[in-house]
Structure 1
Amino acid sequence: MSERTQQNRPADQDQSPATKSGRRLAAQLAAKKAADRKRKRNAWASGLAAVAVVGVLITVFVTIGGGSDDKPKNQADATPSATVPAPDEPAAPPAPQLPAGADPALGSKPTVKPGTGELKKLAVTPLIKGTGPAVKQGQNITTNYVGVFFKDGKEFDSSWQSGQPATFPIGVGQVIPGWDQGLVGVTVGSRVQLDIPGELAYGNDAAKAGGRPTGPLRFVVDVLAAQ
């Protein structure tokens, strides 16, 4: 074969089958190494991302936990003890100041029922017997009271609505005759029921009563003080 013919022979014809197989194996090994390096890089990147997420969570937890240290240790001390009524619920009036040794029942508004029959004269019925001194004519007395119509028990007046007991002189004509006559002699700390006919209250004529309740009335009165 001439020199020119040898120079024009394809390069693959100069390689034996063994040489080709070796090159393919080398290429496969190189590709495998490249794939391994890529997996390692991906695994390393995933690990860094996981560490970053954990770091963020720890930072948030520490921030929240640190903020809670600013709150009072005793949560009950920071919370008002009184219950706030709902917007449409009226606030309950404060309990009255009771005399020493008084029955605790005087701290609650009594339920007053209507009377029966025809009321012709003043009737004083003790409901709770107080242990204080007896009320004297001319003294200023402090009372809580509920007033209802004798016949149907419908309430028309009550000091409990405002939570402020009423103070007035007794036995000197400053209140209706039924109170002047019925409360003198009652001991402080007592609760009494006064059944008062119209003529000892505001009268029986609505035209002359000036808008005040007429006819027989029933009052339940708590005597809290007398001076």
Structure 2
Amino acid sequence: MRLLWPAVLVLATSCGVTEGGTLPVVTGTFGARPIVAIPRGKPGRMPRVAVLSTGSGRRTMPGDVVLADVEIRHWSDNKPHLNTYDTNQPATIIFDGRHVPDTWRQALIGQAAGSRVLLVGTAAEALGPDMEPDGVDPAETLVVVFDILGGYPPDARLVGRPLPAVPADLTPTTPPRTLIGGSGAEVRAGAKVVVQYVAAAWPERTAVDSSYRRGGPSAFTLVPGAVPPGWLTGLLGQRVGGRVAIGSPTSGPPMGTGEPMLYVVDILDSV
């Protein structure tokens, strides 16, 4: 992501006309890819944030890792630029004071989990961390819709439990094993799960990936092709607050290229 300058935002509470210009109309349910209607009016000169619906979960806080599904469209022709709904990989936004534009901070911090938020601004203001412009003029207006799954401390972990470690007898063909039983919501097929995890290569058993190294919790959708194959069987039916050891004959996306892997996964939330 290129350098993004801070901007003063015009805040709105619903779709419609404000001093800054006309806002798009966004329909659809939280968690499903939004339907965006771009009005004929001009977008306005200032970036704007509108809370379209308010969730009932914990409010995100400064310093949180915020997990959200994101839809980005071009104002000029309503063509899609990027979305995480089709990839089944929600965005991980790490608010570490360096990488996140001020517009995203205004849109995401202080919002309740389960909220849908709209951002309208130029590409230079609206593209998030690590998002390449891909030929987009920095002055072109973009429309961004966030479905906020939640905010979590970077070191979020199972309360009172040590950091996860791969069991000495775990192999890629070992059936999934519950190390700590959870007492929260049950993880179901197609759910978005928020996890901290450690991944170790086989047969070396050395850690090659970890959400802790990446900066905090990550969210994954439990569907084929979006997580390692072993996760589909290993996490289904588990409960939030649990820890699971999983061997997987192939690593699968998005964390590898097909080698056998060993995982320990802490389930922090399920949406």
Into which bin does the TM-score normalised by the smaller protein fall?
0.3 to 0.5
Question: TM-score normalised to the size of structure 2?
Answer: 0.39
- Tell me which protein shows more strand as a share of its residues: 2
- For the pair shown, the structure with the greater C-alpha radius of gyration is 1
